[in-house]
Structure 1
Amino acid sequence: MKAVINRAHPLWLAHVLHRLSGLALALFLPLHFWVLSLALTDPARLDGFLALTDQTVVKLAEYGLVFLLAVHMFGGLRVMAMEFLPWTAPQKTLAAMASALSFLIATLFFLQAL
């Protein structure tokens, strides 16, 4: 018997968002560590790179990064809750609201960075 996957269910969407945020963060980390290494190996180049952070597109990227971090954190908490706690219908709504809270956190960070 084939299992039916309800792709419109909020928890399925939270699952996909958690996996995609983890993948995006894994792709970002090597670049981040490379930039940090410039502080030790080539400080002048780091200063030039950091000058780019005043651009709007970089601030938008930082917004996306903070959003991904928040989504991934709340997604991880959701997974831990699924493993250790019994789920009720209202808890499913709370899991969907975690994505909205992630968006709020990222937006507040973005507004402060402007």
Structure 2
Amino acid sequence: MSDWRRRSHPAWIAFLVHRLSGLALALFLPVHFWALGQAIQGEAALEGFLRWSDNPVLKVAETVLVILLAAHLAGGLRVLALEFLGWRAQQKTMVAASAGVAFAAGLLFLLNLGA
């Protein structure tokens, strides 16, 4: 079996992260729409939701969500590069860059929470 088919290969792990982050984002959408619906129900409902969302656990969850979104975006860009540029020897570099972009976005979001 060649190296690129092993499940420990960075390209396969990037594939898995891209699929799982997409699934997690899809599962989050109903919660997001519910939260937006609180604004429609009135100021009191939205204010109650915003107070609830100040929970530190939810702040960590928001950061994880931003990392998942960035991972999905970076992974999608990596897939587009594969589609249009073909297989390259730098696949591991592209995977590492995708992961770096995702974690940098999460870190920037986390640092911006205090501002």
Task: State the TM-score, normalizing by the size of structure 2.
Answer: 0.88
- Measured against aligned partners, the alpha-carbon deviations of 1:7-43 in whole angstroms (never above 9, x if no partner) come to 1111100000000000000000011011101111243
SS in structure 2 of the partner of residue 63 of structure 1: helix
SS at the partner of 1:54? coil
Structure 1 counterpart of 2:31, one-letter code = L
Higher relative contact order (CA 8 A, sep 6+): 1
For structure 2, the residue ranges without an aligned partner over 5 or more in a row are: none
2:14 aligns to what?
Answer: 14
The equivalent of 2:43 in structure 1 is 43
Kindly report which structure 2 residues correspond to 1:1-114, keeping only aligned pairs within 5 A, or say none.
5-114=5-114
Contact 2:78 2:94 in 1 (8 A): no
Q: Deviations over 1:68-98 (max 9, x none)?
A: 1100101111111111112322243122221
In 2, Cα distance between equivalents of 1:5 and 1:107: 32
Contact 1:70 1:105 in 2 (8 A): yes
Give the total of aligned pairs.
111
Overall identity of the aligned pairs, in %? 52
Moved over 3 A (4+): none
Native 8 Å contact 2:66 2:109 kept in 1: yes
Deviation, 1:103, is 0.8
- CA RMSD, 1 decimal: 1.6
TM-score, with normalisation over the residues of structure 1? 0.88
